[in-house]
Structure 1
């Protein structure tokens, strides 16, 4: 079994640039020579496995990271729970057909905290989250990931939508985003604004940063199992934002007002 720590060492080395591949002094070892940046030795089996996983490519005796490898390096740079979650998930872009049309987003083959909670049932077989709540959380995560909003940037949620053309976004700045990615960022900003500051924090922690419920409770000094209830309320508010027509159905399809049933507003000309 290949040691993942050794793969990380190679990833970190090649993240700074390509390196020439040379034979090592002993059998089964190779050297990655990056000139002024130095030389590291590694088992040929480790490098070969990374090439099979498409983390790196070797052409003409030169090793360099692939797009998959670069994404792996970015995951290594994430702090805490976000890095741990990313290392245990396989993310890829997918296209989904929803009631609102076709949407492009991220699919995780691994389990997110929200997916784990969605699968839980009580003794009567009922789910804790309903389908609307779960789909709302997944939709927020898709926009968050596709919008290239990374935890290490220290996002200022109040300025997401108005940051076009301004500095301070670093390598993932809005000036570098595609139109669709920028639109995803704006959808995240709008959704978090609609649910309010009481709910936005827990939605970001669980749906976007993929933190476990116990981790959120520990970090926020909340009572045990309180996060579960808080999250359901937050997802319910998020679902109402995404599906306002469902909110109207819940009200019986009627427009609510304070007047009597025969009330009619007067129109002055």
Structure 2
């Protein structure tokens, strides 16, 4: 059986995994045929199709796939009699994409607020975005069509939290990343002279402004450091996985590390940070004016106090800015064990800095 052309039946916003799923279930295309057309391995298509199938427990995802499947069965493939007409994009598709983009900026921005969630009943044509305040009072902040909410769920921008007569959805990490891309693209469209930016790069940035000791406002990217990302995660009881004092200890080591890179041979010889040589011995008499030499000594003293293993994970995560998965691969550890070792190392590092007191000679 010949597969129906996906470009004629599927909207442009439909994710690739959902396209494969509909082509397999509705058009009868085999997994090998889909893989051959896409130029990938059949196991890749199989994993994506299975993932979409398991997501049909989500009411909005199930309704969206059912609606798209019914439209696909009734669609009549257009004859591509002329190459120019085959490349012409329907005006309705452009309007749908514009509407989804506009609604995504409005709804995802609201759902990204603290305490916000989307609620939708079984037979309601509209979904409401509600926000729970500190006093427990719930306020409605936005309303969106059910069809648009189905698109959000199918694109994995929102995920089902509780099911029942009223189903509750929350924004996902993919939804937050998409919101950053959409807002960055909207800012780039504004008139005036602005710096060229990449929307896909902006999704990995988390800008924040703080005031230094000199009353200077500093704008920095919180998502640049893996330590800051772990500091925002919470355990099951709601407490932060890394307390602020542990994050501060890691950033303190990173500050010294950045200053020490101005010294000679630091960029070529990393062994001196881990071997504990006499050249890197800490001398309490040195102060902030020692510059790269004093910073290098403070880093060497901290890593020597941590020892092998703990010093390695702190150096890679806090100074080299490597992610946890990359650290676990380098160290040969099992998955999801690196963050536990990192927390132990930061506790030891905090104790090291507490023991130094004012003699640490920090510059900031």
Instruction: Answer yes or no: same fold by TM over 0.5.
Output: no
Q: Which has the higher contact order (CA 8 A, sep 6+)?
A: 1
Q: Which has the larger radius of gyration?
A: 2
Higher helix share: 2
